[in-house]
Amino acid sequence: MPQATFYFPRGFLWGTATSAHQVEGDNTNNNWSTWEQEPGRIIQGQEAGLACDWWGGRWREDFDRAAESGQKAHRLSVEWSRIQPAPDRWDEAALDRYREMLRGLHERNITPLVTLHHVTDPLWLSEGGGWENQAVVERFEKFVRKAVEALKEYVSLWCTINEPNVYAASSYITGDFPPGEKDIKLAFRVLTNMVRGHAAAYRAIHALQPQARVGITVNYRPFKPARTWFLPDHWIANLYSSLYNEFFTRAITRGAASTIIGRVRIPEAKGTQDYLGLNYYTRERIAFNLLKAKDVFARRFFDPHSELSDTGSIANEPEGMAEALNWARQFNLPILITENGVDDTDDHLRPRYMIQHLHQVWRGINNSLPVKGYFYWTLVDNFEWERGWTQRFGLWELDVETQARRKRPSADLYAEICRENGLSSEMVSKYAPELMPIIFP
């Protein structure tokens, strides 16, 4: 058996990612807290409830687990509705609690990456039109200034907005997220305001903290033509990629972007990115279909030969990670893989998924891609939006009723990777021996 190790660069950031509403619990003042009360919105009528009880203090034990497993970074978000519960009121106690959490990361030698907007909006903002209303730009900037001023002692790595493409698509095209609209023109307006909000936040953060590194995260999903010989499949794949993957990143790179819906010029957004946060989970096949007008004339599906996750929502397609990284090359920026993971309750797929995707990351780095870190999604099972508790992404399993944590085997695999700063043949042989002929031929 070959003995070898794929080492990552010195100082590579190994960590996990979480978000406030999904782990904190008892969030009662944002649009998701009301959305969860509406029948039919969440699978099986589930609610976030206590989530992972981080607001109650259980972040301490989870941060201990991260530190003990060799993680050197953690991506988390702050909840806007806690910090600004009303337009004219700030909650200093909430900011103190976030300071305590961030201080806890530093005490464990873990570098924080803080996301300022991760899916949820304060109720008062939603009631005023949310991201449909251009007034959100000034409101978001005001919130960002308050949060950054309060937390900058512990944070210099910021993400302004998480996955604006997912937010717009899920809230205003598929209707899975609040407000549940299905209007592509509204989605375009929301994305445009998010570009403006990001640009304002970027400049505000640098004014308060010149040495900060500020970026966004985009969910990149490759769309592959189902039939390589059929030109309409290529056309529809390019259209989906333009709408989903390209609009926001082009706008903040060039200060302008266009789609079939319209064109915008936002010159103040040009160059407002110090790194690219890349979220990759899977890729899809796509076929042109005249009968699917509501889906922009497309039928989307996974490769029928791919391994699927528990819920069938993710196909194990590690080559898509290589595509995502090569797409990211065009921006000439440091790359952070800010999310990558798979829902897998019994851990039968996760070790294989992790190894194959990290192998692609290592190959990209050796092809001169400036990848600086990797954040697995997620540290402990959390509330997965409209899918509730049916998706289990955690390295640690969570019993929602008792709050007990149980370590999955992949947590040990990831700990070995973090400590070694590399992926070895010994690890592959131990956790996914079937991959040995592929990873170490």
Reported as a single tens digit per residue, the pLDDT across 282-304 is: 999 999 999 988 788 999 999 99
**Rounded CA gap, 133 and 129, in Å?**
5
Eight-class DSSP state of 189: H
- The pLDDT tens digits of the residues spanning 90-124 come to 999 999 999 999 999 999 999 999 999 999 999 99
pLDDT at 1 over 70: no
- The pLDDT tens digits of the residues spanning 165-221 come to 999 999 999 999 999 999 999 999 999 999 999 999 999 999 999 999 999 999 999
Q: The domain 5-221+274-284+311-439: what is its CATH number?
A: 3.20.20.80
**What is the four-CA torsion angle of 9, 65, 113, 402, rounded to 10 degrees?**
150
Extended beta strands in 203-262, E state: 213-219, 223-225, 256-258
- The pLDDT tens digits of the residues spanning 242-255 come to 999 999 999 999 99
Q: Cβ-count burial of 215 within 10 angstroms (0-12 exposed, 13-18 middle, 19+ buried)?
A: buried
Whether the CB-CB separation of 425 and 416 falls below 8 Å is answered with no
| The model scores a pTM over 0.95 | yes
**Rounded CA gap, 175 and 169, in Å?**
8
**Rounded CA gap, 303 and 17, in Å?**
28
The 10 Å Cβ neighbour count of residue 404 is 10
Percent of the chain with pLDDT over 70: 100
- pLDDT value for 323: 98
340 in the Ramachandran plot: left (φ > 0), alpha (ψ -120 to 50) or beta? beta
Angle at 270 between CA 148 and CA 296, to 5 degrees: 100
Whether the CB-CB separation of 234 and 296 falls below 8 Å is answered with no
Helices (H), 50-208: 59-68, 80-83, 92-107, 123-127, 136-151, 164-172, 184-208
Q: Between β-strands 223-225 and 275-279, what pairing exists: parallel, antiparallel or unpaired?
A: unpaired
- The pLDDT tens digits of the residues spanning 407-434 come to 999 999 999 999 999 999 999 999 999 9
Give the list of residues 6+ apart from residue 317 with CB closer than 8 angstroms, or none.
Answer: 282, 283, 302, 303, 306
Q: Cβ-count burial of 105 within 10 angstroms (0-12 exposed, 13-18 middle, 19+ buried)?
A: buried
Whether the CB-CB separation of 386 and 379 falls below 8 Å is answered with no
Extended beta strands in 280-334, E state: 284-288, 298-301
pLDDT at 258 over 90: no
Coarse DSSP helix, strand, coil percentages of the chain, rounded to the nearest 5 percent = 45, 20, 40
SS3 per residue for 52-97:
CCHHHHHHHHHHHHHHHCCCCEEEEECCHHHHCCECCECCHHHHHH
**Rounded CA gap, 140 and 338, in Å?**
22
In one letter, which amino acid is 430? K
371 strand-pairing partners: 335
**Rounded CA gap, 211 and 188, in Å?**
33
Q: Cβ-count burial of 11 within 10 angstroms (0-12 exposed, 13-18 middle, 19+ buried)?
A: exposed
Q: Which residues of 15-28 are buried (b: 16+ CB within 10 A; e: fewer)?
A: bbbbbbbbbbbebe
- The pLDDT tens digits of the residues spanning 360-395 come to 999 999 999 999 999 999 999 999 999 999 999 999
